[in-house]
Structure 1
Amino acid sequence: MEVLYSVFIGLFGFILKLASPFNPKAKAFVSGRKKLFSRLSACITDTAPLVWVHCASLGEFEQGRPVIEALKNEFPHIKILLTFFSPSGYEVRKNYNNADYIYYLPLDTKRNARKFISITKPVLAIFVKYEFWYHYSKELHAHGIPLISVSTIFRKDQLFFQSYGGFYRRILKNFSFFFVQNDESKQLLQSIHLTNSQRVGDTRFDRVHQIVKQGGEIEIAKVFKNDQRTMVVGSCWPEDMEVLAPFINENKLKFIIAPHEISEPFIASLEKALMVKSIRYTAAAAHQNLDDCQVLIIDNIGMLSRLYRYGEFAYIGGAFGKGLHNILEAACYGVPILFGNRNFEKFQEARDLINRGGAFEVGDYTDLKTKFEMLNLPENFLLACDVTRLYVEENLGATEKIMQYCRGVVSR
């Protein structure tokens, strides 16, 4: 299996090189790794302890970020090496201030793993969520370098837990500790005789809660709300607006809509679909009286996490398409959450909140209307608010639990 694995990795790299002239992502994947070892050798010359954090892409980075920032805050003398597998993560975060070195991860071959570890010499390696690389984990284990997995989720259909998954179980045995998100993951590890795990939850709760605490007022949104009941619509797509537009047109609520894309064609189409008066955020400051506007359309970026404070209800977009967007930001404000019913099940927090009665999936306009009317009853509304608020509070603290382990390593 080790030979087959290595052949597959080599074939994968070869295919990407062939595709690179024609595919921008493949081109970034290949070009970003050119002369990588010489670049690493040239910049990592400091004798300070180095902690290596590896993320597949942007989503995993957000889960690793609270740990990175806690490490830098508590141990300012250490160096952080941050690696990405995907261009979508690297290109967005290549200038992230809290990492000292940011690179692509070389492909997982025996030669690359040996060379990478010999150059970087980490005192601790942190792999986020689903990152399980055979040669890197084996090389770290051989050198006695602690390797931990954080915000990890395991499922019973993964290869680790199949009768033919012996090779993949060997990868897990190279890890020093697993900080998993849920009890099922811990139980699955125990089923293959791995007891070095702790259920700590998802570090994103800490990150989102920190953002919410630090966020300031948005004066225009505050004036627009004017103490009236409001629904904040976050990261919506055209498929979401097909369900939302008729609901908005017949409802007395106020709505703050933050589209996922703020292109002129989409915002214009959104305005056309609305039969009630709307105003764009960039035009609102000059408007004499926002009370006569029922919809505030956010036509800029970067403020969504702060907007949820102005809502009694939240609708989160994306689930009718590729996948549900972040619902934790809304949950931090303790409001009922609604979203589409097609592509949310891979998100643990969505399933948890549905089961507890704090979030509700909707299939169409009629379903949205029915569930909103149910939520509008005071007892149901207050119960849903309590559920989302308590859910966030219960899941805070994953970063500190991980840091308790990291301190023992970095302080040596």
Structure 2
Amino acid sequence: MSMLVFWFYKTVIVPFAWIILQIARPFISGKLREMIEDKNNAFYKMVHPGTEKLITLHRPLWIHAASGEIEYARPVIREFKKKHPDIPVIVTYSSPSAKKILESMHDIDMWAALPWDFDFLISAFIEKWNPRALLFSRTDVWPVLARTAKKKRLTTGLFSATFADNSSRLKGISKFLTKYAMNQLDEIHCVSEEDRRNLYLLGIKTRIEVSGDTRFDQVFHRLENPKELKNELMPSTDEFVFIAGSTWPEDEEVLVPALAKIKRENLKIIIAPHETGPDHLEKLEKQFAEAGLPYVLYSKSTQWPVGSILLVDKVGILAELYTWADMAFIGGSFKKQVHSVMEALAAGLPVMVGPHHQNNREALFYQKKNFSSGMIVQVVHSPEDVSVLIDRMRKKSFAFPHIKEEIRSEIGKNKNSTQRVLSSFF
């Protein structure tokens, strides 16, 4: 059945989708049109212009990451380059959203749009760049790509793979394509035993290892190599700091009334919105004023009074700000889906999330872990839930000063996935 589905995908679905996208392209805008044009033009960018022949000569490592999956690939690339500085690394992406991340990465040699999933285009890409291996980050294993790489005798593997029980890739017609694509690979490195079990139940014959989630290594690397913060705003050790990270308006509608209810003696609050445009910041400032909440802007302040909100109008420093805090709320969880809880947990913080957190493995898993602080991750549904939990944690943080160390130790068990993956291939 898997072979039949693959044949139908290769000969009908892919060509039909390609034709539809080409016809629709003039009427499409945004990222979708950019994706179509990048693939049509075989777009690529050299980090060091003029080194195409050198890359081909040294046979690069090829990593494919759809978009945000590049965060899982970062530590793999970094550690690979430490061990093999003379071997180039090329990265392909599916979504143009990845370009901004790739532009900031200086340990890769070339990045490019993944070709359309036609075997002749994949073959041409492989022949041009002459890679020694192809590693997929997280999820984005295209069936024709995997089959063509196998025919070309490329070493192939998938890392930080996750296949939860409710995954769409394990249901309907998709499960046959998943089975076919996974069976083309040499190795699969899963996040958990649950993932391995689900793949075995699907009938995967490829070697499967449980190696963990490489993104934890990236999070800890970030904490060990922090960006500089404004030291004059750093809270003192006797102040309890609550941080709300990557918040959206739906989150703020719950947080603001909650914060207005609680006593703010020896309390400082950080709100770091996901979007820091002027419209959003002005709306937030108005909400604070109406609720009687004093605040200061991160970029303009040299002092942060007790009982007030530090409104963060600068992007890229949230991981560092978590290290200032004692408890966190993770945004997106009152909107549609929660942002990553990893950075807050790695900083040792008990975390609260709203009802929309089923997309996040760590948010679900760590609800089951109980320490002196209670559960590491707790779910809130209302302003009252938020205010009660903040007050409860303020009391516990003084009674159990080792809470952060407990959580850091627990999260630290997830380190070194990157080494396990790389040692298996190189």
Mapping of residues 277-316 of structure 1, within 5 Å? 277-285=294-302, 290-291=304-305, 294-316=308-330
Identity %: 24
Do the aligned partners of 1:90 and 1:103 also contact (CA within 8 Å) in 2?
no
Q: 1:37 to 1:111 in 2, by over 3 A?
A: farther
- Which residue identity does 1:318 align to in structure 2? G
Q: Which residue of 1 aligns with 2:157?
A: 148
1:372 to 384, 390, 414: 390
Cα deviation 1:20-71 (Å, max 9, x = unaligned): 333222221122123428999x9632210211000111x2000011101111
Matched, 1:234 2:245: yes
Q: 1:337 to 1:186 in 2, by over 3 A?
A: same
SS at match of 2:40: coil
SS at match of 2:323: helix
TM-score relative to the length of structure 1: 0.89
Write the distance in 2 (CA, Å) between the matches of 1:203 and 1:389.
17
Do the aligned partners of 2:272 and 2:318 also contact (CA within 8 Å) in 1?
yes
- Range that drifts further, 138-147 or 303-312: 138-147
- Which residue identity does 2:378 align to in structure 1? F
Write the distance in 1 (CA, Å) between the matches of 2:327 and 2:381.
18
Q: 1:261 to 1:401 in 2, by over 3 A?
A: same
Cα deviation for residue 255 of structure 1 reads: 0.3
2:129 to 104, 120, 131: 120
Q: 1:158 to 1:255 in 2, by over 3 A?
A: closer
Write the distance in 2 (CA, Å) between the matches of 1:160 and 1:95.
31
Q: Which residue of 1 aligns with 2:285?
A: 271
Write the distance in 1 (CA, Å) between the matches of 2:24 and 2:102.
24
Do the aligned partners of 2:216 and 2:415 also contact (CA within 8 Å) in 1?
yes
Cα deviation for residue 147 of structure 1 reads: 0.4
SS at match of 2:98: helix
- Range that drifts further, 45-54 or 190-199: 190-199
Q: 1:249 to 1:126 in 2, by over 3 A?
A: same
How many residue pairs get aligned? The number is 401
Write the distance in 2 (CA, Å) between the matches of 1:258 and 1:204.
22
Cα deviation for residue 193 of structure 1 reads: 5.1
2:35 to 29, 33, 50: 29
SS at match of 2:332: coil
- Range that drifts further, 375-384 or 28-37: 375-384
Residue segments in structure 1 that go unaligned for 5+ positions in a row = 408-412
Residue segments in structure 2 that go unaligned for 5+ positions in a row = 370-374
Q: Which residue of 2 aligns with 1:176?
A: 186
Q: 1:310 to 1:138 in 2, by over 3 A?
A: same
Q: 1:74 to 1:247 in 2, by over 3 A?
A: same
Q: 1:229 to 1:145 in 2, by over 3 A?
A: same
Q: Which residue of 1 aligns with 2:372?
A: none
Root-mean-square deviation (Å): 2.5
Cα deviation 1:294-328 (Å, max 9, x = unaligned): 11111111211111111111111111123211211
Q: Which residue of 2 aligns with 1:391?
A: 410
- Which residue identity does 1:180 align to in structure 2? C
Cα deviation 1:137-178 (Å, max 9, x = unaligned): 112212221101010011345577569744542221111111
SS at match of 1:32: helix
Cα deviation for residue 377 of structure 1 reads: 4.1
- Range that drifts further, 391-400 or 26-35: 26-35
Mapping of residues 26-175 of structure 1, within 5 Å? 26-36=32-42, 44-46=52-54, 47-57=57-67, 59-94=68-103, 96-157=105-166, 165-175=175-185
Write the distance in 2 (CA, Å) between the matches of 1:51 and 1:38.
16
Q: Which residue of 2 aligns with 1:18?
A: 23
2:366 to 333, 346, 353: 353
Cα deviation 1:323-364 (Å, max 9, x = unaligned): 21121111111111112112x112111111112110111111
Q: 1:160 to 1:327 in 2, by over 3 A?
A: closer
Q: 1:76 to 1:156 in 2, by over 3 A?
A: same
Do the aligned partners of 1:229 and 1:254 also contact (CA within 8 Å) in 2?
yes
Do the aligned partners of 2:185 and 2:206 also contact (CA within 8 Å) in 1?
no
Q: 1:353 to 1:168 in 2, by over 3 A?
A: closer
- Which residue identity does 1:272 align to in structure 2? K
